[in-house]
Every structure is written in structure tokens, then in C-alpha cells.
Amino acid sequence: MLDKTGIAKRIAQEVKNGMYINLGIGIPTLVANYIPQNVHVVLQSENGLLGIGPFPKEQEIDADLINAGKQTVTMMPGSALFSSSDSFGMIRSGKVNLTILGAMEVSERGDIANWKVPGKMVKGMGGAMDLVASAKNIIVAMQHCSKEGASKLLKNCSLPITGLKCVKKIVSDMAVLDVLPEGGFRLLERAPGVSVEQIKNATEGHLLVTGEIPEMKI
């Protein structure tokens, strides 16, 4: 099983040279720490920054420079600042190449639920619905099962939907899977020490397993 860092490291392998990337809050934010030095990408923050840099040093802190998680950040050389409408313009028009975000549930058709749990305080969807509705390439970082052991890779999402048919790939603590255009999860890799059988048992939605499934290299 992978811990959060492991999931972030595996997702970082999906990052390719020249990509503009939007990272969600939580595990997705950690991905930035594991992108290889020779892979040049630009990180987009939906509150209006292209070129997110590392967290500032104490003396560099600037209240006017935060990321979408409201954390203080710095800017890389060559950054650009813009309004929220320009920001979502570049998201909606597909200029952002890769979106990495967390999920509570994903269905075998690629539907995602990640914004609301009935009975709990609703915090709002923020930019999640805009991102999932428009991004061409969405990778989800998630736990394969709940703490009670219930699968989160489902036939149908039980929680309120954030977007339909949008997730392309999932990196969970147990596996890497593609969501097939015709529906179903295709198992690509196993987490270290996890068997195909365990993944089958942990996946409620249709799971396609063909041939030998390699272990992830992290």
C-alpha cells in the first residue's frame, strides 16, 4: 500500500515536459515536490497565477501572493498574474494540460464525487466543477477504500456528483488504473506488496485485468 507521499511520487511520473498543470489541494499539491528537475512544467493556481514557486522564506512572505489553498507562495521566473475570469478561461478552453485532484468516489464511467457529503457541513465546490468539466486529462489521487473498507471505485457514485465522465486515470494507495472510454477500470499497476486479488476485492466497479500486472516503480 502507498502512503500519501507514495501516491504523489507515482503521479509525478505522469507529468511530462511542457505541461501546464493545475494541482488540487491535499495529495495533488505534494506532486510538485517529486517532478524531476529535467521536466519543465508550469503550475497554475486558479486564483490567478501561472508559475507557482516554492513556499517563501520567512522574509519573502507576501500577503498578496497565495495559491488556491490560501497558502503563501512564491513565483517562478516567467510567471504571469491574471484575474479569476482569465484563469477559468484558460481552464475551460483546455489550455491547462493536466489536472490532478482528490476524490471521495469515482465511478466506472469516470464520474467523480469530491465536493459534498450529505449531512456534513457543505463548504462549496470552489473550482472543482469547472476543472473537471473542462480538463482534457484528469488524474485522481485517492484512497481505494474508506476507513471501513468500502470501495470508493464504484459502479455509480453514491455522493453528490462533481462532474460526469471526466476522470481518465486513478492513482490510489493500491493501484494505478485507467478509466476506459466505454466504461470500466483497467488495472495497470499494483502498489508494492498488493496483489491483484486484493485490488479486485477492493474495487466495486467493473475491473478489467489482462495479463501480468506489474508492480509500481517508485
Partner 1 sequence: MIDKRVSGAEEAVNDIPDHAILMLGGFGLCGIPENTIQALLKKGVKGLTCISNNAGVDDFGIGLLLQTRQVKKMIASYVGENAEFERQLLSGELEVELIPQGTLAERCRAGGAGIPAFFTPAGVGTEVAEGKETRIFNGKTYLMEHWLRADFSIVKAWKGDYAGNLIYRGTARNFNPMMATAGNITIAEVEELVPPGALDPNQIHTPGIFVHRIFQGKHYEKRIEQRTISK
Binding site residues, partner 1, CB under 8 A: 45-49, 54-58, 61-67, 69-73, 81-85, 87-88, 91-92, 111, 121-130, 133-134, 160-164
Q: How far is CA 217 from the centre of its chain?
A: 19
Among 14, 46, 105, 148, which one carries the catalytic annotation?
Answer: 46
Query: Do 152 and 142 form a contact (C-beta atoms < 8 A)?
Result: yes
Of 49 and 139, nearer to partner 1 (C-beta) is: 49
d(CA 153, CA 132): 17
Starting at the earlier edge strand, list the strands of the sheet with 153-154: 112-113, 105-107, 153-154
Q: Which amino acid is at 155?
A: K
Query: Do 22 and 51 form a contact (C-beta atoms < 8 A)?
Result: no
Of 26 and 56, nearer to partner 1 (C-beta) is: 56
Query: Do 179 and 170 form a contact (C-beta atoms < 8 A)?
Result: yes
Closest separation in Å from C-beta 214 to partner 1: 35
- Is 46 an active-site residue? yes
**Which of 192, 186, 185, 199 minimizes the C-alpha distance to 216?**
192
Closest separation in Å from C-beta 201 to partner 1: 29
Closest separation in Å from C-beta 33 to partner 1: 11
Q: Which amino acid is at 141?
A: A
Of 13 and 71, nearer to partner 1 (C-beta) is: 71
Contacts of 100 (CB under 8 A, 6+ apart): 11, 21, 22, 23, 24, 28, 31, 138, 139, 140, 141
Of 35 and 174, nearer to partner 1 (C-beta) is: 35
**Alpha carbons within 13 A on the beta-carbon side of 25:** 14
Residues labelled as active-site residues: 46
